[in-house]
């Protein structure tokens, strides 16, 4: 978001954090008041209390059911498409990454097609998304999946984290 916009118009922002301390879940609530360009006053309201885990989980899932967006990688069990979305969305907003995801799936519908492409082709399709090491690692990992795992993503953690861009 545009930080200057909030400074100019004196908006109030609320931040809600949930974090783990030992085995307990706590909530920490900050309220920050932006009063003007030159004067920023931080009004810290601290509400540190234990959360009922069952209640919190139930509320979070209910909120998600109402507010979730329909995204193509949520409607598939294909490990390739889920992995592709994870790589594209690293440090990228969904609005920016979604068109790239769609283009990649159209151009390379499976890991075999991706592995058969050249690095230059992958980089060209990635153009404009930034962090080009992600594209290079995506291509390297696709080649490993095809050559060492016969086109099937490893199902165990120790093999999965060996793939470039994951581990």
Q: Which residues are catalytic?
A: 86
Write b or e for each residue in 2-18: b if 16 or more Cβ atoms lie within 10 A of its Cβ, otherwise e.
Answer: eeeeebeeeeeeeeeee
Whole-number Å distance between alpha carbons of 51 and 18: 9
| β-bridge partners, 32 | 13
In 25-77, where does DSSP find H-type helix? 53-67
Residue with token string 């003007």: 36
Q: Is 122 exposed, middle or buried (0-12, 13-18, 19+ CB in 10 A)?
A: buried
For 58, 59, 70, 94, 116, the CA distances from 64, given in Å and listed in that order, are 10, 9, 11, 16, 38
């Amino acid at each position: 978001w545009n930080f200057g916009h909030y400074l100019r118009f004196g908006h109030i922002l609320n931040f809600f954090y949930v974090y783990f301390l030992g085995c307990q879940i706590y909530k920490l609530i900050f309220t920050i008041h932006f009063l003007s360009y030159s004067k920023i006053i931080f009004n810290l309201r601290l509400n540190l209390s234990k959360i009922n885990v069952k209640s919190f989980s139930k509320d979070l899932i209910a909120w998600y059911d109402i507010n979730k967006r329909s995204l193509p990688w949520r409607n598939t069990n294909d490990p390739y498409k889920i992995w592709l979305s994870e790589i594209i969305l690293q440090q990228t907003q969904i609005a920016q990454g979604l068109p790239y995801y769609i283009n990649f799936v159209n151009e390379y519908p499976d890991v075999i097609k991706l592995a058969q492409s050249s690095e230059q082709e992958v980089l060209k399709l990635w153009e404009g998304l930034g962090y080009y090491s992600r594209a290079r690692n995506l291509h390297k990992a696709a080649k490993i999946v095809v050559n060492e795992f016969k086109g099937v993503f490893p199902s165990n953690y120790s093999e999965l984290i060996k793939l470039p861009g994951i581990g």
